[in-house]
Structure 1
Amino acid sequence: MKLYSIPALLLLMTYTTPGKAQQQQSATPATFSLEQCLQYAYEHSPALQQSLLDQRIAEHGIKSKLADWYPQIRFDYNVQHAFQLQVSNFNGQIIPLGLRNTSAGQFSLTQNIFSSDALLASNSAKEVRKQASQNVVLTKIDLSVNVGKAFYDVLLTRDQLRLLDEDIVRLDRSLTDSYNQYEGGIVDKVDYKRATIALNNTKAQKKSATEALKAKYSFLKLQMGLPDSIPLQLSYDSSRLETLAIMDTSAAALARNRVEYQQLETQKRLQDINYNYYKWQFIPTVQAYGNYNLNYLNNDLDKLYRDNYPNSFAGLRVGIPLFQGFKRVQNMKQAKLQSDRVNYDLEQMRNSISTEVSQAMAAYKGYLNDFYTLRQNVAIAQEVFNTIELQYRSGIKAYLEVITAQTDLRTAELNYSNALYQLLGSKLDLERALGVVQVH
């Protein structure tokens, strides 16, 4: 999604500046479009930050495993004092062996030439990186859908409040007219009382919607990772909402478009690599090594490091595990079955995605039909109300018909508003089911 501007983001950064947080609480609320809400969520959502950290953790784990291919160099130091020397019988004489004080330093180098563990790290590195990246993408998709639906939910309640305000204006005008007619003796007090009841009911609905709006703002902030104490205003182009709500419903459902399916494919490849790993364990482990030893010997401790008797050597080590109680064979069979099991997970995922797309498509088309029908109802209800109100003012219609027309108009407007935002939310669900949600 395109980020149109970032001044609001810069404004929010000042809220976290030490020493200024309290001052900023009373500042002008930040105004965010949907794109800016998403961008802020990408940067501050705890769930997404955790997945990004998991990706970095995976990268360090890969590099740690791949380090086995590098030369391994170490130094060992030892100092020893013998209270009793070992002895040996030589030609009937007991002869002490060695000296009382010894010290040794050993530099050793080993280089893996073939190692099944190191080979597993090399072959799986790409897939492990892909797996971590797919987890990030999935989190972003969830975040995009959740923030979008929360954003539209706030707009729906705001739009309902706007319609209720317009209805209150109409009802207040009707109340004034009916009261004036009552005072003038034209009608009895029934019309005036009905107008009062209708106005009070609408005001009660507005109060409920106002309180609901606070909770929905709070939920949107939660999805964005925005502190609840920071005020927020939303910016949107109402003229574009109807256009945004319409999408092509002829798109084919391809399981490979879904990141969840891609994750299973990655898991399948990792299982195949794991199976090969157990096969590689039948191949001997080969290492090159070299040692350089420092040896110090003396009966007098203060003269221990006076003379050095070094030695050094290099060699090739081949490790051949001849028999391990069929452990490698059982591990291979287990890995093969685990790989086969993922095949069923893939089949189940394909079926699940197909069902999910069908359900999301049916819901979207249903809301789309409601949207077109209810949009037409608003125009009809407005025309009916205007006609009846004019006839009432002319004394042709009873006030009960005016109230009925007002109620029909408000209901039509609220139903249309609800259908529009349900359609927008349904579109997000359908895009997710099809695997076409755009994320950065």
Structure 2
Amino acid sequence: MRCRQILFTFLLLSGIPAVYGQVDTTQPGSYAFNLTDCIQYGLAHHHDVVNARLDINFSQEQIKEATGKLLPHADVNASFTDNLKLATSLIPDIANGNYDKKIPVQFGTRFASAVTGTVNQAIFNSDYFLGLKASRVYGGLAQKSYTRTAIDTRVAISKAYYAVLASEENIRLAKSNMAQLNKTLSDTKSRYDAGVSERVDVDRIQVSYNNIVTDIENQIRILVYTVQLLKFQMGMPQESKLELTQTVKDLNAESFVTDTIDYQVQDRVEYSIQSTQIALDELRLKSKKMAYLPSLNAYVNYGFNYFSTTFGSLYKTGFGASALGLTLAWPIFTGTERLHQIRENKITLEKSHNDLGYLSQQIKLEVSNANTQYQNYKAQFVTQKTNMELTQGIYDRIVLKFGQGVATSLDVTAAESDLKQAQVTYVQALLNTLISKTDLDKAMGKIK
């Protein structure tokens, strides 16, 4: 146990980055990123962002598919018939002039075949044109969904990034405490050996030192996990090595300006998505109303018919046939089904408008709550930083008095415990401030 503590102390005090030693670095891929780099990597590799980008490509193909319905459609039909037994019909006996007598006759040939090519062109079809417009709206919806996914990814990466920096700050402060306490412990042991201090003083400070060592070990494991979480949010393989090039001091949380709550609900991508949903509902309603209109199509075909009493001579002679025409379909009355469908779509559209109004109120409430949280956490952060500095001063003076024989070891351990608690509270307040600022920016639609 004693050897392990000495080795661990040496690693920490010498500045060796043992914290990343637990991360698997056997796989290729080593990165040194700041927050911007992490976000850019995540936007290129995160699972949800990649799928959202594929959804955009999918919607573009749907637009092309809808456009393709307006182009001419051509097809070829062929048939072959073997009349094993020709159908018999009864007709008047015209040849003998006996019109009252019916005689059985058979028409046609045993073998018949036909090949016909047809080209159809839609001239007017409300579903086709509205479908094309709807597909374009869907394309815009896919783009907005991608934006929302990208925003969520930015937020998740930022929060995970801040958690890593907070863990690193916890370790840095704990290492500083350990260095101070290690010196105090060494001096106390020297005084004990000289007969100036008592054994209880050494043991009390040794207990505090052991607790710091264990606490740092725990913080290292937490840091390893937070790095893994950050890589997950970025879509980075866990086998890759990631180191951050920033510290909490680089973020300078104290300089965060309390932004004036100046925003519009339209800045939120969710508002735009709901507006798009209203546009889609309006198109569905319009489609049902226009279903009363006729559809007009043009066609042209050309083909050959083949007849023969024997299969071998079936395709020796063909008889051409061609036609050019228009087809008009007009659903005059379809019961009351379409009328009720129109009313159903009107109700759906009204609900979408209600949802948009509700969303507006929800966004305003989110902004108010996020601003309250941010203001509270920032005030707490400023206070806790001051408290930590004051507690550090108290600890330093008590250690000095202890060296002069004025204070007791109990005073040292109590001051050390207060300092550790103040540092933990400070780091948590710092993390809360960073996260609440991110939540506020997201609520106001400032994260794009």
1:97 is displaced (CA, Å) by 1.2
Match of 1:427 among 437, 442, 445: 437
Q: 1:250 to 1:32 in 2, by over 3 A?
A: same
Query: Do 1:293 and 1:311's aligned partners in 2 also have CA atoms closer than 8 Å?
Result: yes
The question of 1:313 aligning with 2:323 is answered yes
Match of 1:161 among 163, 167, 171: 171
1:429 is displaced (CA, Å) by 0.9
Matches within 5 A, 1:49-128: 49-92=50-93, 93-128=103-138
Percent identity over the alignment is 27
The question of 1:284 aligning with 2:294 is answered yes
Aligned-partner SS, 2:335: coil
Give the corresponding residue for 2:239. Answer: 229
1:121 is displaced (CA, Å) by 1.1
Query: Do 1:253 and 1:354's aligned partners in 2 also have CA atoms closer than 8 Å?
Result: no
Query: Do 2:254 and 2:382's aligned partners in 1 also have CA atoms closer than 8 Å?
Result: no
Query: Do 1:245 and 1:420's aligned partners in 2 also have CA atoms closer than 8 Å?
Result: no
1:361 is displaced (CA, Å) by 0.7
1:295 is displaced (CA, Å) by 1.0
Mapped to 2, the partners of 1:35 and 1:225 lie a distance apart of 15
Mapped to 2, the partners of 1:245 and 1:309 lie a distance apart of 90
Query: Do 2:165 and 2:248's aligned partners in 1 also have CA atoms closer than 8 Å?
Result: no
The question of 1:396 aligning with 2:397 is answered no
Query: Do 1:247 and 1:427's aligned partners in 2 also have CA atoms closer than 8 Å?
Result: no
- Give deviations 1:367-424, integer Å, cap 9, x for gaps: 1111211222233233333333333323333333333333333333333232222211
Matches within 5 A, 1:290-369: 290-369=300-379
Give the corresponding residue for 1:199. Answer: 209
The question of 1:264 aligning with 2:293 is answered no
Query: Do 2:29 and 2:240's aligned partners in 1 also have CA atoms closer than 8 Å?
Result: no
Mapped to 2, the partners of 1:82 and 1:171 lie a distance apart of 107
Mapped to 1, the partners of 2:128 and 2:365 lie a distance apart of 42
- Give deviations 1:101-157, integer Å, cap 9, x for gaps: 111111111111111220221221221111111111111111111111011111111
Query: Do 1:101 and 1:301's aligned partners in 2 also have CA atoms closer than 8 Å?
Result: yes
Match of 2:156 among 140, 146, 155: 146
Mapped to 2, the partners of 1:88 and 1:401 lie a distance apart of 122
Counterpart residue identity of residue 31, structure 1: A
TM-score if structure 1 supplies the norm length?
0.89
Aligned-partner SS, 1:94: strand
Counterpart residue identity of residue 406, structure 1: E
Return 5+ residue gaps in structure 1 as ranges: 1-22
Give the corresponding residue for 2:397. Answer: 387
Give the corresponding residue for 1:46. Answer: 47
Q: 1:185 to 1:237 in 2, by over 3 A?
A: closer
User: How many residue pairs end up in the alignment?
Assistant: 416
Mapped to 2, the partners of 1:245 and 1:100 lie a distance apart of 96
Aligned-partner SS, 1:187: coil
Aligned-partner SS, 1:295: strand
1:244 is displaced (CA, Å) by 8.5
Give the corresponding residue for 2:219. Answer: 209
Give the corresponding residue for 1:15. Answer: none
Match of 1:408 among 410, 414, 418: 418
Query: Do 1:245 and 1:424's aligned partners in 2 also have CA atoms closer than 8 Å?
Result: no
Mapped to 2, the partners of 1:97 and 1:280 lie a distance apart of 48
Aligned-partner SS, 1:105: strand
Return 5+ residue gaps in structure 2 as ranges: 1-23, 94-102
Q: 1:28 to 1:346 in 2, by over 3 A?
A: closer
Give the corresponding residue for 2:16. Answer: none
Higher alpha-carbon Rg: 2
1:56 is displaced (CA, Å) by 2.0
Mapped to 2, the partners of 1:168 and 1:199 lie a distance apart of 7
CA RMSD across the alignment: 2.0
